[in-house]
Amino acid sequence: MRILITGGAGFIGSNLAKLALTRGHDIRIIDDLSTGYADNLVDCDIDFHLGKVQDPQAAARAVANVDSIIHLGALGSVPRSIKDPIASHHANATGTLTILDEARKANVTHVLSASSSSVYGMNPALPKHEREWVRPMSPYAVSKLAAEQYTLAFQQAYGFDSIAFRFFNVYGPGQRAGHAYAAVIPTWIDAMLKGEPVWINGDGQHSRDFTYVETVCDALLQAVERRLTHVEPVNLAFGTNTTLMNLIEHLTQISGVEPDVRHREPRAGDVPHSQAQNDTLTALFPEIFPTDIEVGLESTWRWMAERS
């Protein structure tokens, strides 16, 4: 099967590409390398296209003659979107619409797209079911809501087979620190390895549903191989609820390093708590089980320590 992965040089995309290659698939990637890294794909036998997903000509070349599309290409980070909301909208909302429209023209009708748990926003319900109301708190979340709804609308308007997955906090090997918008786990591991302060935004009681990247990639690839479709968004997480202080404790136990924990003001746009209701996910993927957070963190720590 020939699969297009947009954003395939990024953290999730490169992990997915490597897994797909082991299963015998032909992989094409489009990435502008604005947040991804070419060295994530070293020794990978792929068809690489350098380009932006919101560029119709680049998107048209990328979607030509593929069987399915896994659309991960996006500009991540709530703080980044608050600083530059237009850039997030162009990459995430316009980029998704462009990929979908070029796929329509090319008669490629199976598309999986990555939405985000951030769309739930101000909704305080825990766990969060896909039919709960949404109230985004940042431009990033709005752009992801637009992206998922375009994905689902193309089912009704053009007969697409598609799924809009709501990713929660995906982590694991390959996720890098060292830049302004790095995720919390690699940022903290990097600080602990260097003996630098570990900064917590707020009191540390914010909670997240951390999901190991290998599990996410397995679900995405199964969805392609089985040509799955679903008429509503699907939470791609397993209902865990780890506070930031819990996360610090896990990392301390795994590493034997006592971190220098410091607190600062919460960030604008950050959702206080995030936890998935996963009934839909487990019905679609009964053979996929979550990776225990201690196991996932240990693997992530080891990957980062080897590169420090």
User: Where would I find the beta strands (DSSP E) of the chain?
Assistant: 2-6, 26-31, 47-50, 68-71, 110-116, 161-167, 169-171, 198-201, 207-208, 210-212, 234-236, 242-243, 261-264
- Mean pLDDT computed over 175-185: 81
Residue 187 lies in a domain: no
Q: Which two tokens stand for residue 251?
A: 């990392």
Domain that holds residue 44: 2-168+212-238+275-291
Distance CA 99, CA 31 (A): 12
Residue 200 lies in a domain: no
More confident position, 218 or 273: 218
Distance CA 152, CA 234 (A): 11
Q: What positions carry a catalytic annotation?
A: 140
Sign of the CA dihedral 86, 87, 92, 94? positive
Distance CA 132, CA 122 (A): 11
For 99-122, write each residue's pLDDT tens digit.
999 999 999 999 999 999 999 999
Pairing of strands 242-243, 207-208: antiparallel
Residue 205 lies in a domain: no
Tell me 176's DSSP state.
-
Residue 207 lies in a domain: no
More confident position, 260 or 221: 221
Q: Indicate which CATH number applies to the domain containing 129.
A: 3.40.50.720
Distance CA 195, CA 282 (A): 40
Confidence of residue 180 (pLDDT cuts 50, 70, 90): low
- pLDDT value of residue 202: 85
Residue 131 lies in a domain: yes
Distance CA 110, CA 104 (A): 10
- pLDDT value of residue 34: 92
The answer to whether the CB of 105 falls within 8 A of the CB of 60 is: yes
Distance CA 45, CA 20 (A): 11
Q: What is the pTM of this model?
A: 0.94
Instruction: Identify the bridge partners of residue 31 per DSSP, sorted by sequence position.
Output: 50
Residue 98 lies in a domain: yes
Provide the number of structural domains found in the chain: 1
Residue 262 lies in a domain: no
Residue 218 lies in a domain: yes
